[in-house]
Structure 1
Amino acid sequence: MANNRAAKSGFAAEAQRKVNAKYSEELAHESLEWVASITNEAINTAGDMDNFYEVLKDGTLLCNLVNCIKADTIKKINKTTMAFKCMENINAFLEAARELGVPAQETFQTVDLWERQNLNSVVICLQSLGRKAGNYGKPSIGPKEAEKQERQWSEEKLKAGQTIIGLQMGSNKGANQSGINFGNTRHM
């Protein structure tokens, strides 16, 4: 747990301060309110880091959340507070979140929550899961996900696009090779 670690100093402390500075109390509060509404559990939804950590640290609420979104996703939820059992809960949540469609880059490591290393990544994961919950008929949070819009182009239109030089490539108007002397040496 977080209180079993030695205090960080030097570069490690500075790096931890930068990680903690990214944490958003508003997003954490929104996430906890969403969790409470989905699970129907009375939890403290204050967005400060201490409360956020205390509410989620054992992983049982996270496992209940996933099971409320999609029934029987997590078969066994450990109710004990033993460290490795709590980390099993968190890991089961992470696997279930990926299964429900949360991209791997928006998940977190088990130690980010259990050892309170990066609570911002936990908020990001909950926000991402909140967007995916709409796919399962549950209330969602955050911006709505984009819908796929396929376009069909004619062969003529595709060939017409090959003749255009994009602006990112620059312009070739007035271009010539004068003044280029690759391979030439200076003659004296």
Structure 2
Amino acid sequence: MSIIPIEFFQKPTLELARDLLGCELVKETDEGTASGYIVETEAYIGPEDRASHSFNNKRTKRTEAMFGPAGTVYTYVMHTHCLVNVVSAESEKPEAVLIRAVEPVIGKDLMYKRRGDKKEIDLTNGPGKLTKALGIIKSDYGRTYTEPPLYLREGIKPESISSGKRIGIENSGEARDYPWRYWITGNRFVSR
């Protein structure tokens, strides 16, 4: 399967959040390669979205990647977990899509080594779990998703997509109710 070209990312954020479902997220490391089909995403629509890191055009060292071109990798640490996003929209319009869960494809043994003695269902069914399992780290920040070591490939076409409220953003006013979380209906690796 070929790496997805940069043009794929150049679309409205909510559309990209749905279109990422089924794509294969791949990370190459010295330990080996691990990948998973994206099964859950959340969209964050920049300056107008109280749940977004770039709410009110907040530009910091942490959010700088969000102001870059679509297809840029935006990683950050929340609590003790590294989370990974796909920057969307055009440059200077800070929007992104959080990758919330993947279904393991390549490197399951490596994922078990990184995550410990877990059930397969628990390897990658959350945004911090999937980054640890795949070996995605904070220093992946600012790369593009179109070349190794972190990239997307064509994957599976979802038969059905569901949507609902985003998770873990209770203190964001009306934004907590926006139905901007998308998942492959019935997939067992969805986070909740």
Using the size of structure 2 for normalisation, the TM-score is: 0.26
Structure having the higher helix fraction is 1
Relative contact order higher in (CA < 8 Å, ≥ 6 apart): 2
Larger Rg over CA atoms = 1
